[in-house]
Amino acid sequence: MVEGVVDHLLHVSYDQRTVLRLTAVAGEEESVTAVGKVLFGVRPGEGLRLHGDWVHHPRHGRQFKAEQCERIMPADERAIRIYLGSSMIRGIGPTIASAIVDVFGEETLKVIDSEPQRLLEVYGIGQIRLGRITAAWQEQKAIAEIMVFLQGLQITPALAVKIYTTYADTDDDPMRIVRRTPYRLCRDVHGVGFVNADKIALAVGIPKHSEARLQAALLHELDQAGVSGHCHLPVRLLIARTRQLLTDDDPASAEILDNAILRQALEALRSHGEVVTETLPLPVLEGADALADTEIAMLPRRHHDETQLASHVRRLLASTSVLSDLAPWAERVAALRGPETAGLTDEQHQAILTALTRPLSILTGGPGCGKTHTLRTLVDLADEVNAVVALAAPTGKAAKRLEETCGQATMTVHRLIRPPDGDSLFDHASVLETADLVIIDEASMLDLALTRKLFAALRDGCHLLLVGDTDQLPSVGPGRVLRDLLDVEDIPRTRLTKVFRQHDEGEAIVINAHRILNGEHPLEHPKVFWNRPKPSAESTAERVVELVCELMPKHLGTRPEDIQVLCPGKKTIAGMTDLNLRLQQRLNPPSDDKPQHHHDGAAFRLGDRVQQIRNNPHRGESGVFNGSSGTISAVDTEAHLLTVTFHDGQIATYPFTDLDELVHAYALTVHRSQGSEYPYVIVPMVSKAGKILLQRNLLYTAVTRARYGVVLIGETQAVNDAIANNHTQRRNTALTHRITHDAATGAPPRANTPDGQLAWD
């Protein structure tokens, strides 16, 4: 056994294996290196009691391999000084910590807990600071109680903090909720999830086959389906997945937990409005004409989004155009066939005419097919008759690129439908109040929820043009909206197929993108496209760091911040998590002048590149949305606040408890790069990513994110697997059916909900 205080973290690997240095205080004081996954989430300043064995590492020498980890309060003066100086208690920094310990010594924590007024004896502490320290100490005590209760369940301290802060300002006692209704945590606390809530529930004695557990498991599977992009699950599949979840490690339960019991739990959820079930005629297979009546289950918010979006699509298709009286569009577009516009193909003419004469239309095409020239011409035509044009894209970088294309101000789709100065989708400041033509670029990124909000905000008769590349990855969120809309015959669409010549650099990237789409290997180009085979994942990761930090800046004259690493996945060597750790260590190593905060094994440090991974309309002045990237511009360890300056100029502040909204962005997954463009892209390909991630459209999407150059590096077999794998996961959606069915019958299908009431978001 070893007891001590954590001095600092030495390393946290992609698989959560943690190496730290602590000062052992039991017996003779010594510095100890401890290793183990049970240490994941530990922060400097914490007191630990570790159980395990001493081992000898051939390179690093004597280490303590921890098998169990308990949090303890520091006892001696030095340990208390480290504990308080680590900013564990909000309002106490290193200077104040030293001053307090100088006065009270080993009695410091007792004084703070029992006689806080005595802190006024310390120079620099007045009534205001005393109040902050007292409040923070009581908060930390409550968090510590939850941590101690959860520490044997392998639940990270960061989640214990999230649990406390979620309920701290309510009438509910956080510890009471944890003990009595732990499955509430699934719904209320982001990041807890069913697995962690289930550990707590079983630990406090909630029966394995309780109604609460079965219902929480069903909701978890529906929620996880959304993570995979599905809007619904067939009921038979939902039941099967839930049964597997609950019985995989418990064969005895498999005999008791039959489908009938789970159906009863599902019916209870339906009767309470927590799940919607209905029977729809859906395709038997992807792209098949054959339909079969399928009983499906959905979360109410997704059912609402899908049915409402279908209704708004029909409304827009049936509306009277506001552009029709502004100009004789057929003649104007025909006039573009003159010699000065010889660059326009018949497909481009058709796309422009359709966008100006039909309230809803779609323009698709791959890179180099002329979407940019088409959009610029379309906007110019609309401007000539003083039509109000609104341009937007799902991400800030995509919006900026659209602005450069069309020479007109653009914004993100979130800003378009929710202006900064108002809380309503229909705020009077919105350009959508007066827009005649709305153009949305990178429409393949639109998920179900965002598209529903967009369509709901459009006035009758306003024209909407969706522009996208259907060969790219689908949206991160649930749905496959662009593909579903393309399956509706009544929606006009144009696909651009002619590939235009680019400048040398752009041409090589475009040619290779189309080669990948056709199942062919990309060709080497000495200035633009480089293939660099590596024998293993480890050698791939090491070379990626060299390329970013040394070789590409030296030989291409670029900067590391102009190079984006795009990974197929996260949890492997040369995956996003691993490469972020390696690149951060090289590009932004720790130093005394760079404050930082450890959160779930990651150090968020001044100067780090980060990306927002959740929509938060209340963060910053006008909201921060999924995919926004920026740089950490301040870390206040005493106030427990971190500030990010985003690329669009917005500044947002995060309490340390909300850092699960951010990830480091030295390396990103290809999914997280959608809609963005980078000067240079490095794509590490390793077989350990798995065949589910090694797909042709993923590699195609990664390559098309680059403007000037691409480095494809890694295991040859991984590249071969990705190019050969043209299978994409089918997403369960019913949008096409809802649009066409309701249009034909005039009435929506009847959902199985109590009295027609649903818990809409």
Position 23 confidence tier, pLDDT thresholds 50, 70, 90: confident
Q: Of the candidates 756, 761, 733, which has an alpha carbon nearest to the alpha carbon of residue 270? A: 756
Task: Give Cβ neighbours of residue 308 (< 8 Å, ≥ 6 apart).
Answer: 452, 456
The mean pLDDT value for 12-20 works out to: 82
Position 419 confidence tier, pLDDT thresholds 50, 70, 90: low
Q: Are 675 and 397 in contact (CB under 8 A)?
A: yes
The span from the CA of 316 to the CA of 362, in Å, is 13
Check pLDDT > 70 for residue 420.
no
Percentage of the chain beyond pLDDT 70 is 92
pLDDT in tens, 112-155: 889 989 999 998 889 988 998 898 888 888 887 787 787 667 77
Task: Give the pLDDT confidence score for residue 751 in this predicted structure.
Answer: 46
Largest CA distance in the chain: 92
Position 284 confidence tier, pLDDT thresholds 50, 70, 90: low
Q: Of the candidates 659, 629, 759, 729, which has an alpha carbon nearest to the alpha carbon of residue 286? A: 729
Task: Give Cβ neighbours of residue 694 (< 8 Å, ≥ 6 apart).
Answer: 568, 685, 687, 718, 721, 722, 725
The span from the CA of 508 to the CA of 510, in Å, is 6
Position 750 confidence tier, pLDDT thresholds 50, 70, 90: very low
Place of tokens 């999830």: 193
Helix axes 696-703, 716-724, angle to 10 degrees: 110
Task: Give the pLDDT confidence score for residue 565 in this predicted structure.
Answer: 97
The span from the CA of 531 to the CA of 550, in Å, is 18
What are the Cα distances from residue 534, in Å, to 336, 553, 566? 51, 21, 17
The span from the CA of 134 to the CA of 53, in Å, is 39
396-401, long-range: CB < 8 A, 24+ apart = 396/627, 396/628, 396/629, 396/646, 396/647, 396/648, 397/629, 397/647, 397/675, 397/676, 397/677, 398/441, 398/442, 398/445, 398/675, 398/676, 398/677, 399/441, 400/648, 401/441, 401/677
The span from the CA of 362 to the CA of 699, in Å, is 24
Cβ-in-10-Å burial (0-12, 13-18, 19+) of 55 comes to exposed
The mean pLDDT value for 714-731 works out to: 89
Q: Are 79 and 47 in contact (CB under 8 A)?
A: yes
Q: Are 22 and 36 in contact (CB under 8 A)?
A: no
The span from the CA of 722 to the CA of 237, in Å, is 28
Task: Give the pLDDT confidence score for residue 258 in this predicted structure.
Answer: 86
* Better-scored residue on pLDDT, 97 or 426: 97
Position 742 confidence tier, pLDDT thresholds 50, 70, 90: low
